Amino acid sequence: MTETLLMFFSVIHWVKSHFTLWDFAMALLGLFFFTCIHERVTKKGPMLWPVLGITPSLFLHLNDVFDWVTKALIKAEGTFHFRGFSMGGAFGIVTVDPSNVEYMLKTNFNNFPKGIYYRERFYDLLGDGIFNADDELWKKQRQLAKLNMHSSRFIEHSFQSMQCVIHQKLLKLFENLANSGHCFDLQEVLLRLTFDNICTAALGVDPGCLALDNFRQEVLFAKAFEQATELTLLRFLIPPFIFKPLMFFRIGYEKRLKKATEIVHDFADKTVRDRRNKLDKLGNLNDQSDLLSRLMETQINFPGKFFRDFCISFILAGRDTTSVALAWFFWLLHKNPDVETKILDEIYEILGHNRHDIVFTVEELKKMVYLEAALSESLRLYPSVPIELKQVLKDDVFPDGTRVKKVKVADGQSVVPKLTTTLYMKNGLMVTLKPRLVENNNGS
């Protein structure tokens, strides 16, 4: 033992006498460059820097994440490995290969839950709601939601709610904006539209986001909900040893996240509390057909937190996804006027004549196949939810041959122009409305 220690110290002494700090620095620099070159030559995906992983490349492309990741996926033939900061524990696979996606979401679904990596980051906002649940909890909520959403009573209620929001709010707002000639953010209007609609159809409350008096003002809950989702996503970019202390001490962005989440929870708690009080007072909710009322009446013993998490999850599902899909759709129509003309021709052909105050029937909507195809193509090009996070339970192999190790996170298409859970347009969609000249049946 003594001889070993003497040998060790003699080696240290020899190194110190023959090498300077500059020599060590040059050696580390050489090792850094060698590692980078080796990574670039042997791997097809984005550059994984020593120690820092994909983090520098990600931050360098924050403003063009969509293009950057798309090019990386094309170069890597649809799938590549990634890792984050060495001490952060973030590593996994990004894939857009259809066979891999189907394998995770259908063929071997049970082996790919959302996992603790996803759940712990969204838990403060979503709790145990359906979009943050796994296994039996997810199955139970899905069955309850499916049972109530497919009922003829709710389908009729949701259809009428949408008609009401469109004709009594949206069209009046558009008429006001067209007369004013002012430029406005169409994406913001669509967000307000879908927020009013999902709250009315699913929760039975009208937040009034589209009201003319409120249009130029921020709706506190809607703004807090958007801020909460954006700030929660930062937890996926920041290593746990950084965001967890920030969360514990409520400092930095975590302080703003906490405040926004409290506003969201207060809104949902009040909605649930008022509905529960009405149920206790009347003994039933027969006069309401919204999803929350139907669910609360059949599952009366469920705790308030269950209904709160339910409310927040459905607002997330119904607000952002539909609104951003419509924003991209109208932008594509603007870029492709020939498609717009074909859609209008189809509508005029189905209607048969010019009508004022048109309310499309279900039968008429089913006949609009070209419109449906255009919407589907828009969603293919700009999916509302481009990211699907999964965590594998057991070692597996994707259909394309990629090996997946447990504990790693397998991502869906991680391409977002703005870092949110949905595919927002970063700068909105500024438009000006002008009346459309429509020919009558005589062509005059």
| Structure tokens given for 21 | 């700090």
Distance CA 348, CA 370 (A): 13
> Is residue 317 exposed (0-12), middle (13-18) or buried (19+ Cβ within 10 Å)?
middle
Nearest to 319 by CA among 165, 154, 182, 110: 165
Q: For helices 291-298 and 304-335, what crossing angle results, to 10°?
A: 150
CA distances from 164 to 210, 213, 263, 317 (A): 12, 18, 27, 20
Contact 418, 424 (CB under 8 A): yes
Contact 73, 94 (CB under 8 A): yes
Distance CA 386, CA 382 (A): 8
Distance CA 139, CA 130 (A): 9
Q: Map tokens 């006027």 to a residue.
A: 337
| Structure tokens given for 123 | 């838990």
Distance CA 47, CA 140 (A): 42
Q: What are phi and psi of 98, to 5 degrees?
A: -55, -40
What DSSP line would sit under 326-352, residue for residue?
HHHHHHHHHH-HHHHHHHHHHHHHHH-
Q: What angle do CA 260, 263, 264 make, to 5 degrees?
A: 90
pTM, full prediction: 0.79
Q: Residue 61: its pLDDT value, please?
A: 81
Q: Which residues contact 219 (CB under 8 A, 6 or more apart)?
A: 192, 195, 207, 208, 209
Amino acid identity at 330 = F
b or e along 184-207 (b: 16 or more beta carbons within 10 Å of the residue's beta carbon)?
A: bebbbbbbbbbbbbbbbbbbbbbb
Distance CA 47, CA 72 (A): 10
Q: Residue 409: its pLDDT value, please?
A: 41
CA distances from 134 to 21, 129, 307, 314 (A): 53, 10, 17, 16
Q: Residue 57: its pLDDT value, please?
A: 80
Q: Which DSSP symbol is given to 95? A: E
Relative to beta strand 409-411, strand 403-404 is unpaired
Distance CA 328, CA 323 (A): 9
Q: Residue 56: its pLDDT value, please?
A: 78
| Structure tokens given for 207 | 């937040």
> Domain boundaries in the chain?
1-124+390-418, 125-321, 336-385
| Structure tokens given for 193 | 């539209």
CA distances from 268 to 221, 265, 311, 317 (A): 10, 5, 6, 15
| Structure tokens given for 318 | 């119904």
Distance CA 319, CA 325 (A): 10
Nearest to 339 by CA among 348, 326, 328, 330: 330
CA atoms lying within 13 Å on the CB side of residue 409? 20
- DSSP H stretches of helix in 336-399: 337-351, 362-367, 369-381
Q: Residue 316: its pLDDT value, please?
A: 85
Distance CA 105, CA 128 (A): 20
- DSSP H stretches of helix in 107-199: 115-126, 135-149, 152-165, 171-180, 186-198
Q: Residue 17: its pLDDT value, please?
A: 64
Q: Map tokens 């033992």 to a residue.
A: 1
Distance CA 319, CA 313 (A): 10
CATH code at 125-321: 1.10.630.10
Q: For helices 304-335 and 220-237, what crossing angle results, to 10°?
A: 90
Q: For the chain, 444 residues long, give each residue's pLDDT as a single digit of tens.
A: 566 666 665 656 655 666 666 666 666 666 666 666 666 666 777 877 776 777 778 788 877 777 888 888 888 889 888 877 665 556 788 899 999 999 998 999 989 888 888 888 899 999 999 888 888 888 888 888 888 888 889 989 998 999 899 988 999 999 888 888 888 889 889 999 999 999 999 999 988 888 877 677 777 888 898 899 889 988 887 778 888 888 888 899 999 999 999 999 999 999 999 999 999 898 888 889 999 998 898 887 888 899 999 999 988 888 888 888 999 999 999 999 999 999 999 998 888 765 565 778 888 889 999 999 999 999 999 988 887 888 888 899 999 998 888 754 444 433 233 444 566 667 777 787 776 655 544 443
